[in-house]
């Protein structure tokens, strides 16, 4: 992954945006990575992956809950229990 200084990124924004279509660009300021510029396609792929990971986790938790006897009725009891 290519790294550029913040000043260089500011001065070469157009070129940096073009380069980001090929690979993500790390922006550094004062010897710290502060941002990444990436293509919209890469961003959408990451975003979709996070959504799918969440959906997979939700499905796994639901399966474990069902395997342990949690039903819709029992869940409703837990949520309306005044003793909690």
Rounded (to 5) percent helix, strand, coil in the chain: 60, 20, 20
For 26-83, write each residue's pLDDT tens digit: 999 999 999 999 999 999 988 888 898 888 989 988 898 889 888 888 888 888 876 6
- Beta strands (DSSP E) in 1-84 are 2-5, 25-29, 32-37
The Cβ-side half-sphere exposure at 8, using a 13 Å CA radius, reads: 12
> Are 36 and 12 in contact, with CB atoms under 8 Å apart?
no
For 4-14, write each residue's pLDDT tens digit: 999 999 999 99
Angstrom distance (rounded) from CA 56 to CA 25 = 30
Angstrom distance (rounded) from CA 30 to CA 17 = 22
């Amino acid at each position: 992954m290519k790294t550029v200084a913040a000043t260089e990124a500011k001065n070469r924004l157009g070129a940096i945006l073009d380069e980001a279509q090929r690979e993500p660009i790390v922006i550094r300021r004062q010897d710290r990575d502060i941002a990444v510029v990436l293509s919209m396609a890469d961003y959408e792929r990451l975003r979709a992956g996070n959504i799918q990971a969440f959906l997979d986790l939700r499905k796994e938790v639901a399966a474990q809950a069902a395997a342990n006897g949690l039903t819709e009725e029992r869940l409703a009891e837990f949520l309306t229990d005044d003793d909690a």
